[in-house]
Amino acid sequence: MKQVPYAAIRLVGGVIATLWCIYVFTREGSVVTAFLGIALFTAGWFAAQRFGRPVGLTNNRPWLDTVLPVAIAAFAVLPAALYPFLGSISVAIGAAIIVLFFAGMSLSLGLGPYSNVKVALVAR
């Protein structure tokens, strides 16, 4: 195989992540947490459309290398940030909310114009 099947990886990963999040929300979530998940999914979708560009011959970092540290930090502080509004939140719900951001990005990139190339998040 000479080319990495980026589109298939992004689509399969995005669908699996979204299905897992739906499962978590139906088991443990509330309307508020589901809304937050949908909002982050949408934000991920539009962030990928707006900032996703092919890496090509530039030295831009691939999008996962760029966004993953931010997501880990967000996951770490999300339960504390939501506590005043919800009273308590499970780790699974916090993870599902953050994972939906990446699912939105993954599906957007997998269906977008750069679906089969390595992509970086670039503010240009």
pLDDT in tens, 36-52: 999 999 999 999 998 88
Is residue 19, in this structure, part of any structural domain at all?
yes
Asked if pLDDT for residue 56 goes beyond 80, the answer is: no
Q: How far apart are CA 26 and CA 113, in angstroms?
A: 33
Decide if 77 is inside a domain: yes
Q: Say if 124 falls within a structural domain.
A: no
What is the rounded CA–CA span in Å between residue 74 and residue 69?
9
**More confident: 98 or 64:** 98
Q: Is residue 117 part of a domain?
A: no
Task: Give the range of the structural domain holding residue 60, as residue numbers without chain letter.
Answer: 6-112
- Asked if residue 35 belongs to a domain, the reply is yes
119: in domain: no
Instruction: Look at residue 46 and give its three-state secondary structure.
Output: helix
Contact of 41 with 104, CB cutoff 8 Å: yes
Overall number of domains in the chain: 1
The answer to whether residue 58 sits within a structural domain is: yes
pLDDT band per the 50, 70, 90 thresholds, residue 107:
very high
Chain segment 67-94, per-residue pLDDT in tens: 766 777 777 777 777 778 777 778 888 8
72 domain-assigned: yes
Residues whose CB is less than 8 angstroms from the CB of residue 7 and which lie 6 or more positions away in sequence, other chains included: 110, 115, 116
